[in-house]
Structure 1
Amino acid sequence: MSAAEYVTHVRPRWSDMDAFGHVNHACMVTLLEEARVPLLFDDATARGLGEFAKGTVVVKLGVDYKAPVIVDGKQLRVGITMPRLRQASFTLAYRVHNGPSASDPVAVTAWTLLAPYDVGAARPRRLVAQERDFLTEHIPEADGA
């Protein structure tokens, strides 16, 4: 993991390709989800913070394509930072490299605005102090926010 970002890897599947041989947009959104799940669900749950896995919803998302992502069997490097942390939401920013290394070109930049969600009450909830601490310890803030 780099000091500047949380790093994970995802592997596109052959079925992710569209008719042009690129990773389809909907599949790219799924790959972004696969990049954040180990952090927010597995790592957080291991630290006793299972509420992320019980309820975290995507409020908004944006995806910008710099280059096509071609499925060639290689993993993609995904760097994640946190440009914004609020009381009841946080934003993750993604840099998807067209290969497994930081030296591979960035093909996609994206962001997701996420909110913790209380499934039982059917409404968003505030982050507790331990969740905020976990987020700031594991995901560097992109702009000091």
Structure 2
Amino acid sequence: MARHVYRCPLRWADMDVYGIVNNVVFLRYLEEARVDFIYLMAPADGDAFFRDGSVVVRHEIDYKWRLVHRLAPVDIEMWVTRLETATVSIGYTVRDDDHVYATARTVMAPFDYVKNRPRRLTDAETAFFEKYLEEG
């Protein structure tokens, strides 16, 4: 199955008092990568997952190595770990050639903001995510 890689720049302001990228900043990195990934669904006019709405249900991050500021970006590799009728789980590895800095998982659910309730994945959303599905 396919994987998506996002080249994530590091910013000076991402560092904490100890000179490493703050743990909370990793959530921003994952969000940037996720938006880049999901935008592939329909780049011309946006896709239902953005247009019709979605919400983050859960984040899990395992920090593996300290990440210090530098000019070179880190790679965030992404794939779908689980796909159900109303949720999609996305796995991540934050890495470069030398280290894995973190592994993570995000569970997202499609959401109808007009009706203010969860909805099911559309056929187009399911077909998109299935291309990146690696169960196990």
TM-score over 0.5 for the pair: yes
Cα distance change, pair 135–83 in 1 and its aligned pair in 2 (3 A)? same
Which AA in structure 2 matches 1:106?
V
5 Å-filtered alignment, 1:1-145, equals 5-40=3-38, 42-46=39-43, 50-54=47-51, 55-97=53-95, 99=96, 103-137=97-131, 139-143=132-136
**Whole-angstrom CA distance in 2 between matches of 1:108 and 1:75:** 14
Runs of 4+ residues deviating >6 angstroms = none
5+ residue gaps, structure 2, are: none
TM-superposed CA distance for 1:7, in Å, is 1.4
TM-superposed CA distance for 1:9, in Å, is 1.2
**Whole-angstrom CA distance in 2 between matches of 1:4 and 1:133:** 13
The SS at the match of 2:36 is: helix
CA RMSD of aligned residues (A): 1.6
Give the fraction of aligned pairs with identical amino acids, expressed as a percent: 33
**Whole-angstrom CA distance in 2 between matches of 1:140 and 1:14:** 34
**Residues 18-77 of structure 1, C-alpha deviation per residue, up to 9 Å, x if partnerless?**
01111112211000000110121x212327662211312110111110101111011111
**Whole-angstrom CA distance in 1 between matches of 2:100 and 2:81:** 18
Using structure 1 for the length normalisation, give the TM-score: 0.86
**Whole-angstrom CA distance in 2 between matches of 1:96 and 1:142:** 19
Which AA in structure 1 matches 2:34?
R
5+ residue gaps, structure 1, are: none
Using structure 2 for the length normalisation, give the TM-score: 0.91
Aligned length: 135
